[in-house]
Structure 1
Amino acid sequence: MEGKRVLVIGGGTSGNVMTVLLRRAGINVDLVEVKDDWNVRGSGITLQGNALRVLREAGVWDEVRAHGHGCDSLGLTTPDGTVLHVSETVRTGEDDLPATMGMQRPVLQRILVDAVRASGANVRLGTTAEILTQDDTSATVRLSDGTEGRYDLVVAADGLHSTTRAAIGIDAKPEPTGMAIWRVPAPRPTGVEHSHLSHGGPCYIAGYTPTSEDTIYAYLVEPSRDRATIPPETYAEEMRRLSEGYGGAWDEIRESITDPAQVNYTWFERMLVEGSWHRGRVVLVGDAAHCCPPTLAQGAAMALEDAWVLSQLLTSGSAWDEDLLRRYYERRIDRVRLVVEASVQIGQWQLDGVRGDVPGLMDATMTALKELP
């Protein structure tokens, strides 16, 4: 691997882990991220066991475990807060990893940022990249700071609305599913030990997930609305209003929703790039290649698995050629399609008012994901 150069575009979860894994193999990596603050923001994130497996491979599991909240169960409640059922969730990682880990998203990002810094990668923040030319072995890239570089491979980890994806001629775009989600970080109510979900009431889903010893993130899923009709300064008020249909821990959560800047409103979207995830020397990972609603909480896991599988192939001793990049796609596409289609189906049943077999679909999907990618 000596002498190989890789440019990673995007310093989110998949781009950061990709960088760490490649640097461990001695590959020279430049990482560019468009945001000056390295995108250290957000409310919370749920990491399933197969995501934790990759984070352990990247060497950050001990910190993730210390700063998050792991559990193996999920509670279903009525809108008034009455617990209907608590089920054990499938461990999609190894047996010594919890089924799920809730974390504050900024904390996870800081852990990964520190790992990238420690890896010795060359990081440029507030920077974008433009592919100038490609041949059979490399790509020439111009950065927005005016410098140019030649790379053996460019990894596009620049997210759902990837400009790199469009620039290399892949015309796939995310499509809204008809649902939207409100998210907010909040203090952890007494007695909340695992995630709880309520189906029904004024929203399709009302839920909350512990993210540390004293924090959670709470979320409400409703039909998507034109964002232009919801002024950002009213976000806290609007989320409180929607939450009034829910009792139990929501009574305490609702009191803490006061800062509109802490509330995030996002549409659910879906996308799956078919055929291949590369063009020449540029290859997609994570949300740049696929996205799905968070109904299975597998978005981060799929992105992390992309980085793991691609890094395995790049460090296997095989030639960095078309065959290798095709093998990456072939190892990923069926698994990712399974997650995207199941995640969309769960939401569609709710949109259509159909009582689908949500537990059965979730269990079948998670059981399939126990297999290594």
Structure 2
Amino acid sequence: MSQVQKVNTPQYTLPGGIYLIQSIIQVVIIGAGPAGILAALRLQRFNHISPIIYEVRSEPTTLGGAVGIPSNGLRLLFRLGLWDALRERGAETSTLSVHAIKGQVIGNMDMTSWSREKTGFGYLRIRRVDLMEVLYEEARKAGIPIHFSKHLTGIEEDNKGVTVTFSDGSSDKADLLLGCDGIHSMVRKLYVDPNTEPQYSGISNIYSLVPTSELPSAAASIDGLNVMLTTDGLLAISPCRASRDMVYWFFSRELAIPPGGDTRDGWEERGKQQVETIKSIVLDLIKDSEGEWGLTIKESIRQTNTLRFYPVYRLPTGGQWSKGRCLIIGDAAHAMQPHASQGVSMALEDIFMLSNLLDSNLGSLNEAFRVYEQKRRHRVDEMHQLAERNGGIRKRTPPWQLWFKEIATSGVLGIYNLFGLGKLGLGQKPLAYDVEEDTH
């Protein structure tokens, strides 16, 4: 029945189901996304715990656009030895340029000037497929087994460990179970917190990746994140590869839940309708945009052959994160809107906090989980709120209000740069947070 052969090891259990940290030799990880593979790498290298990963998909996914990883996450990737490989693929996009609806730049800022001084890292935009290729290669070199087509159907615990079962009849047993299986986590649904359900944020995204070879020559020189507020959402474009041979553009807007309720079929139908009309909608919104920026963004949209649509969901704060020998981390525990670019970074912070606590003198896994939640809750809630605030600028606005926002944005960024407010760390202090300092 077991997927792998286990070595019989002594179990250390105190009365009342209190598990000693010294008994943790093997970990089962559900989910082979960034959180799962990064957790496996860290626990194997730092804690000498043997990981095995199970993934519901039949093969490594190639879906997804580009993800942003700010200073706090990049520093942890460096400590895992992954920074050089990721830097070779992703694009440094620490600068922000805000454009008016007519195309002209109304303000610039370096989003990581202060946090870069504190951490040594800025902001990386990288295609999800490139990120995953680096992580899968690292797992391969580390000899970490990843099994695909594994649909989790059951979780059971006893004094000797935690057992997971899958729809194909196979099972596995370990000393620790980590749920790294995203916002729709089966580990959360089946075992840790069945009553917590994802909530729709009210915001949906359309995105695409376009080779710069198909665009005006100016596209290859796009630097940093370029954004434009419209009356119907936020439009943005940035490079996503170190070679600058590809741009990532997205349009983020307010959108109601489809008629008939929050069902997969409803969203798929709405998505199909949105994709069919989105290019003309966006082009109409920015029809007055002129100059190099206007030409580049319009051509990026016109040359787009494949669009991806997805509604942005989040988990409510305050959910349960652990039960017995099981802990859910990353989006499985606290998925937030992507508008603070903290998805990968929050998972990394979870992983390092857990890893360091398992190496501490706390003694029991129960106590480690208690301290883990005590230290992580405030930080996660803080970033959750930031992401929600940032999502607010995606909402519809009348033309007069858009004009006012452009003037206000120009003034604020002008003052920010004139007086060097970036040197004070305004808006950047969360990016310099070091989870390892918080562990001790």
Q: Does the alignment reach a TM-score above 0.5?
A: yes
Q: From the CA coordinates, give the structure whose radius of gyration is larger.
A: 2
Change (3 A) 1:80 1:349: closer
Query: What's the counterpart of residue 238 of structure 2?
Result: 209
Q: Is the 8 A contact 1:172 1:273 kept in 2?
A: no
1:242 aligns with 2:248: no
Query: Could you tell me how far 1:239 is from its partner in structure 2?
Result: 3.0
Change (3 A) 1:265 1:67: same
CA distance in 2, matches of 1:120, 1:28: 10
Change (3 A) 1:315 1:119: farther
Q: Is the 8 A contact 1:272 1:337 kept in 2?
A: no
The correspondence for 1:21, drawn from 42, 45, 49, is 42
Query: What's the counterpart of residue 101 of structure 1?
Result: 124
Runs of at least 5 residues in structure 2 that lack an aligned partner in the other structure: 1-21, 213-218, 259-266, 417-421, 436-440
Query: What's the counterpart of residue 207 of structure 2?
Result: 183
Query: Could you tell me how far 1:228 is from its partner in structure 2?
Result: 4.3
In the superposition, the TM-score normalised over structure 2's length comes to 0.77
Query: Could you tell me how far 1:214 is from its partner in structure 2?
Result: 0.9
SS of equivalent residue, structure 2 residue 98 = strand
Q: Is the 8 A contact 2:220 2:245 kept in 1?
A: no
1:49-69 per-residue CA deviation (whole Å, 9 max, x = no partner) reads 111112112221101000011
CA distance in 2, matches of 1:348, 1:72: 22
Q: Is the 8 A contact 1:135 1:280 kept in 2?
A: no
Please tell me the residue identity of whatever aligns with 2:428: M
SS of equivalent residue, structure 2 residue 434 = coil
Query: Could you tell me how far 1:160 is from its partner in structure 2?
Result: 0.4
1:10 aligns with 2:31: yes
SS of equivalent residue, structure 2 residue 88 = helix
Counterparts of 1:1-373 in structure 2, within 5 Å, are 4-25=25-46, 26-90=48-112, 92=115, 95=118, 97-135=120-158, 138-170=161-193, 171-188=195-212, 189-201=219-231, 203-212=232-241, 213-225=244-256, 226=258, 227-230=267-270, 232=272, 236-244=275-283, 245-246=285-286, 247=289, 248=294, 249-259=296-306, 263-274=307-318, 276-316=320-360, 318-348=362-392, 351=395, 364-373=426-435
Please tell me the residue identity of whatever aligns with 2:387: S
Query: Could you tell me how far 1:205 is from its partner in structure 2?
Result: 0.5
1:181-203 per-residue CA deviation (whole Å, 9 max, x = no partner) reads 111111241330111111124x3
Please tell me the residue identity of whatever aligns with 1:299: G
User: How many residue pairs were aligned?
Assistant: 367
Change (3 A) 1:231 1:45: closer
Identical counterparts, % of pairs: 22
Change (3 A) 1:190 1:149: closer
Change (3 A) 1:115 1:318: farther
Query: Could you tell me how far 1:238 is from its partner in structure 2?
Result: 2.7
Q: Is the 8 A contact 2:239 2:248 kept in 1?
A: yes
Query: Could you tell me how far 1:143 is from its partner in structure 2?
Result: 3.1
1:110-134 per-residue CA deviation (whole Å, 9 max, x = no partner) reads 1111111111112111112344421
In the superposition, the TM-score normalised over structure 1's length comes to 0.89
CA distance in 1, matches of 2:54, 2:238: 32
CA distance in 2, matches of 1:175, 1:92: 32
Runs of at least 5 residues in structure 1 that lack an aligned partner in the other structure: none
1:220-271 per-residue CA deviation (whole Å, 9 max, x = no partner) reads 0112243344363x66543312320234221221122123xxx221112222
Higher helix share: 2
Higher strand share: 1
Change (3 A) 1:224 1:195: same
Query: Could you tell me how far 1:38 is from its partner in structure 2?
Result: 1.9
Q: Is the 8 A contact 2:72 2:433 kept in 1?
A: no
1:141-162 per-residue CA deviation (whole Å, 9 max, x = no partner) reads 2233423222111000010011
Please tell me the residue identity of whatever aligns with 2:246: T
Change (3 A) 1:132 1:149: same
Query: Could you tell me how far 1:306 is from its partner in structure 2?
Result: 1.2
CA distance in 1, matches of 2:142, 2:390: 40
Q: Is the 8 A contact 1:15 1:157 kept in 2?
A: yes
Q: Is the 8 A contact 1:277 1:284 kept in 2?
A: yes
CA distance in 2, matches of 1:216, 1:118: 31
SS of equivalent residue, structure 1 residue 257 = coil
Change (3 A) 1:314 1:242: farther
Q: Is the 8 A contact 1:44 1:216 kept in 2?
A: no
1:18-45 per-residue CA deviation (whole Å, 9 max, x = no partner) reads 0111111321111001112222321111
Which moved further from structure 2: 186-195 or 110-119? 186-195
Change (3 A) 1:299 1:132: closer
Please tell me the residue identity of whatever aligns with 1:70: E
Q: Is the 8 A contact 2:252 2:394 kept in 1?
A: no
Query: Could you tell me how far 1:95 is from its partner in structure 2?
Result: 4.5
SS of equivalent residue, structure 1 residue 17 = helix
